[in-house]
Amino acid sequence: MAIDMHSHWRPPVIIDMLRARTEAPCITTEDGVEVMKTARGTTPVDGAFDDIEVRMKEMDECGITTAVLSTFGPYQWAERMPVDIGLPFLQAINDAYAEYATQYPGRIAFYASLPLADMDAAVAEFKRAMALEGCIGVILPGNAFVTREEAEKYAPLMEAANELKAMIMVHWNPRPQDEWPRVKPQNDNFSYRLGTLDMQASLSANMMTFCFTDFLDAYPDLTVHVHNLGGNMPYEIERLDHRNYMDSPDRPLPSTQLRRDNLIVDCNSFGARAIEAGVAVYGADKIVMGTDGTTFSADWTFKALDEARISDDDRQAILQGTAAKLLTPLTKLADQSAAQAAE
């Protein structure tokens, strides 16, 4: 059994709102077929959004007792829009998540989405969302934390999270003012360059801010969750130690600074060897399981954890133990022992 801390969602609650729009993203009709129109093209509406009953069935089949939903990247456009446009979409999405959490107690939790173009409105929606059933925190763009200087601009949200003892999922994504994507579609190997090389490098930069500055010291009561093993850090840490040894031997080794009480990573999309490296540098108690969206990569992740040369205790910590400790103060959890007995 497992708790899925990284499970994206394409929210059907906004379908009618998208139908009312006249410019992308919007839903329109082409050749008699309703399509979702975005800057990157069109997709038939049938299949462009998720269904909660289907997701629950997938979770049952995969052995996932609780999933923490967060809005899928291409549907986070509303976070970057002016508040008068984006906020109604975001509140509808957050309210829908809460309805799922109520409908399926203990099975669904969520990271809320916020109107990031206006910090006051973002803080207000954060506090409103945290009062909803199943909300454990918010999802924020990785571009906000690539350096300490940039991270300070999000201090009001960090302060709110600290006050609420909430979680923040830092996910590779742009802020409202950012040009995106950084890798252009005309480049060779666009998908690999953007979704792997750029993503992982950005997450490593986030970890540099969180681990190698004192930025998080002011926020001891929140928990930051960085996805995909915190970028390439498990493989870069020895290089960082070497540079430290050569350039500034009087400073603490970077490898001694990766563990923070309020920082976790998930192992989404990685294989057995990467998970082993992650356990070696962070400890299994700082790693949680993620699938990106249940069947999207659940089999891959479970196989990787099964094949990883780690202890059974470490494996169980990643699958459910660490997440359960984090989530229990924030939301209901399904009874995993009962779920296991029913198998």
Does this model's pTM top 0.85? My answer is yes
Q: Does 341 have pLDDT greater than 90?
A: no
Spans of all domains in the chain: 2-342
Work out the pLDDT band at 280, boundaries 50, 70, 90: very high
The answer to whether 52 and 101 are in contact (CB under 8 A) is no
Q: Does 339 have pLDDT greater than 90?
A: no
Query: Which of 97, 90, 70 has the alpha carbon at shortest distance from 4?
Result: 70
For the segment(s) 2-342, the CATH number from 1.10.4080.10, 3.20.20.140, 1.10.10.10, 2.60.40.350 is 3.20.20.140
Q: Does 336 have pLDDT greater than 80?
A: no
The Cα–Cα gap between 211 and 253 comes to 12
Q: Does 262 have pLDDT greater than 80?
A: yes
The Cα–Cα gap between 102 and 56 comes to 14
Q: Does 338 have pLDDT greater than 50?
A: no
Burial 159-186 (b: 16+ CB within 10 A, else e): ebbbebebbbbbbbbbbeeeeeeebeee
Helices 119-130 and 83-103, axial angle in degrees (round to 10): 10
**Location of structure tokens 């792997």:** 196
Work out the pLDDT band at 297, boundaries 50, 70, 90: confident
For the segment 234-246, what is each residue's pLDDT rounded down to a tens digit? 999 999 999 999 9
pLDDT score recorded for residue 100: 98
For the segment 179-223, what is each residue's pLDDT rounded down to a tens digit? 999 999 999 999 999 999 999 999 999 999 999 999 999 999 999
Per cent of the chain over pLDDT 70 is 98
Q: What are 215's two structure tokens?
A: 């930025």
- Mean confidence (pLDDT) of the chain: 95
Q: Does 337 have pLDDT greater than 70?
A: no
Work out the pLDDT band at 296, boundaries 50, 70, 90: confident
H or E segment to which residue 47 belongs: none
Work out the pLDDT band at 231, boundaries 50, 70, 90: very high
